[in-house]
Amino acid sequence: MAKLLYVESSPRKQRSASIEVCRVFLDVYRKTHPLDDIETLDIWATQLPEFDGPALDAKYAGLSGTLLTPVQVAAWEGIRRLAAPFLAADKILLGVPLWNFGIPYRLKHLIDLISQKDVLFAFDETGFAGLAKAKRAAVVYARGLDYFSQDTPTPAAAFDLQRPYIQMWLRFIGVADIHEVLVEKTLLGPEVDATARATARREAEALAREF
């Protein structure tokens, strides 16, 4: 039995393209992997503490080998609790809408909180090593347009801060096998939106069967 962690990062819920496609993925995954456990992390329903004060002090105390104060210990335990699902999961499913060429700020907030030394990664003089148990991830990216090409004023190499960032982060924490589904053109009218979602749903179904 494996454990799948689903990270939901859109606040639009029933209107969200990324959530719609992820739910199709999950429906098929449940049927084809009936013994697996699925945990959902909705970042809009999760309390995310500020990363300042005791938490920041705890980070640097840990880096320097200094004994943490009780307040710092409490702050760091909160960060470890947020990271725990990523450490327990065998597989990860991420739904990621595009916001201002990047990812939603609450998803970035979560990543900033949990991407800590000896939490999701380790390092020494030889380099970095990811600590996530999961080695496979599926990512559903939702975009209102399909403007990241060399034929537009917004080529991906300069403007796409969504997909490369998530790829980099997953690999950094130790997830090497990454599969992706793109939902694009969702802002170009109902017909185009419906076609884009239908195409992405089919891709998600196929991916879920063998994931």
Model confidence pLDDT, tens digit, residues 90-130: 999 999 999 999 999 999 999 999 999 999 999 988 999 99
Model confidence pLDDT, tens digit, residues 55-90: 999 999 988 989 999 999 999 999 999 999 999 999
Sequential DSSP letters for the chain: --EEEEEE--S-GGG-HHHHHHHHHHHHHHHH-TT-EEEEEETTSS----SSTHHHHHHHHHHHTPPPPHHHHHHHHHHHHHHHHHHH-SEEEEEEE-BTTB--HHHHHHHHHH--BTTTEEEETTEEEE--S--EEEEEEE-S----STTSSS-HHHH--SHHHHHHHHHHTT--EEEEEEE--TTS-HHHHHHHHHHHHHHHHHHHHH-
Which residue, 100, 179, 187, 68, is CA-closest to 134?
Answer: 179
Predicted TM-score of the model (pTM): 0.94
Model confidence pLDDT, tens digit, residues 127-166: 999 999 999 999 999 999 887 766 677 778 888 999 999 9
Q: Domain 3-210: state its class.
A: alpha beta
Q: Are 179 and 167 in contact (CB under 8 A)?
A: no
